[in-house]
Amino acid sequence: MNTKILIMAGLAVTFGATSYFAGNKWLDSQAQARLSEIESERNMQSVEMSTVVVASAQLRFGEKLTEEKLKEVPWPKEAVPEGGFHKIADVIKDGERKAIKTIEAGEPLLAVKLTGENGRAGLAGIIADGMRAVTIPVDMVNGVGGFVMPGDRVDIVLTKKDREDGEQVAKIIMENVKVLSIDQDADTRGDAPKVAKSVTLETDANGAQKLALANSVGRISLLLRGAGDEDKVAAGDMSSGDFDGNAAPKTAGAKEDGFLSFLKTEKKFATVTVIKRDEATPHSVPIEKGEAADAGSASKVQ
């Protein structure tokens, strides 16, 4: 009987001590949480607050802004981003606006990511200053199998027939070009491969001319760059002769004229002097390829 009493007393003491320490620890944690809350309230009171309009759900390219898709949240006044809005009414008061870039839920709305009042979400709103949009045709092969997405960076390869030896020549004509849209889709958050018929690229006026000309003289292919890869390409021109070792050696010291050089027809001229009675008139005439005439020679014709 005494043994049972001792066991019961021991258990009671054990449970009592455990409850005491557990309760004491819980009270300490609650007190610490309350102190942290009070400290946060004090800090909030010392920071001047404002409001900022954020997206309540993800807004994709071209999506119309409505009051249901926006909300106002407290924001430190000194940290309000430039171009942000304080009230939902400021966003939609002057007419319909649309997103021209993807805006994540909780992200502040900025004027640069929206169209103007009653504006349309077209490419004109996302082209950088001084740049142009140019569209080129693509297919499954030269369009990287449909894995090129808006916002990606690509290099442009032109494949054409050499004017002199008739071999196929491939040349990288542009590097690190931004893709604006695939067909009519400019949503940068797309993740599914899409076999497109056209790709719209962002380039300067000179690059737009290059692409238009390249599309007329040969075949254009896209080389997809890795994310963040901005290195220059060191590869040179390659011809079909490089595969069998029959490529003609390049003349030492030859100077390339750039991308448009293949459009230039190099001609030599000879001076021909035409004599009529007592008057001699010099004329410069082109020498056709294969003729043995010397470009510096002069002939006289009476």
Give mean pLDDT, residues 188-214.
82
Q: What is the pLDDT of residue 177?
A: 92
pLDDT band at 170 (very low <50, low <70, confident <90, very high): confident
| pLDDT per position as a tens digit, 135-153 | 888 877 767 777 888 888 9
Would you list the domain boundaries of the chain? 1-46, 49-121, 127-240, 268-301
> What's the predicted TM-score (pTM) here?
0.51
Tokens coding 248: 């003609």
Residue-level pLDDT at 249: 46
For residue range 237-255, list pLDDT tens digits in order: 777 666 665 555 444 344 4
Mean pLDDT of the region 257-266: 50
CA-nearest of 212, 219, 154 to 181 is 154
Region of residue 296 (left: phi > 0; alpha: psi -120 to 50; beta: else): alpha
pLDDT in tens, 95-121: 778 887 788 888 998 888 887 655 555
Coil, helix or strand for 4?
Answer: helix
- CA pair distance 85, 110, nearest whole angstrom: 7
pLDDT score of 129: 80
* Confidence (pLDDT) at 295: 42
Task: Convert 136-145 to b/e letters by CB count within 10 Å (16 or more is b).
Answer: bebeeebbbe
pLDDT at residue 299, as a whole number: 45
- Of 75 and 228, the structure prediction assigns the larger pLDDT to 75
pLDDT score at 186: 67
Residue 211: its H or E element: helix 205-217
The reported pLDDT for the residue numbered 120 is 56
Q: How far apart are CA 109 and CA 264, in angstroms?
A: 52
Compute how many other C-beta atoms are within 10 angstroms of the C-beta atom of residue 45: 9
Q: How far apart are CA 174 and CA 158, in angstroms?
A: 9
- Which is more confidently placed, 270 or 175? 175
| Two structure tokens written together for 8 | 């019961």
User: Over the chain, what is the mean pLDDT?
Assistant: 76
The stretch 156-169 carries a mean pLDDT of: 83
Q: What is the pLDDT of residue 71?
A: 92
50: three-class secondary structure by DSSP:
strand
| pLDDT value for 23 | 77
Q: Assess whether pLDDT exceeds 60 at residue 266.
A: no
- Stretch 28-54: mean pLDDT: 78
Position 243 scores a pLDDT of 64
Q: Which CATH architecture has domain 49-121?
A: Alpha-Beta Complex (3.90)
> Is residue 277 over pLDDT 70?
no
Give the 3-state secondary structure percentages of the chain, helix then strand then coil, rounded to 5: 30, 30, 40
Work out the percent of the chain whose per-residue pLDDT is above 90: 6
CA distance 61 to 261: 41
**Which run of H or E residues covers position 223?**
strand 219-224
Q: How confident is the model at residue 256 (pLDDT cuts 50, 70, 90)?
A: very low
Quickly count: other Cβ atoms within 10 Å of residue 35's Cβ.
10
Mean predicted confidence (pLDDT) in 245-269: 49
195 by DSSP, 3-state: which?
coil
The span from the CA of 175 to the CA of 242, in Å, is 23
Q: 122 or 262, which is more confident?
A: 122
More confident residue, 206 or 256: 206
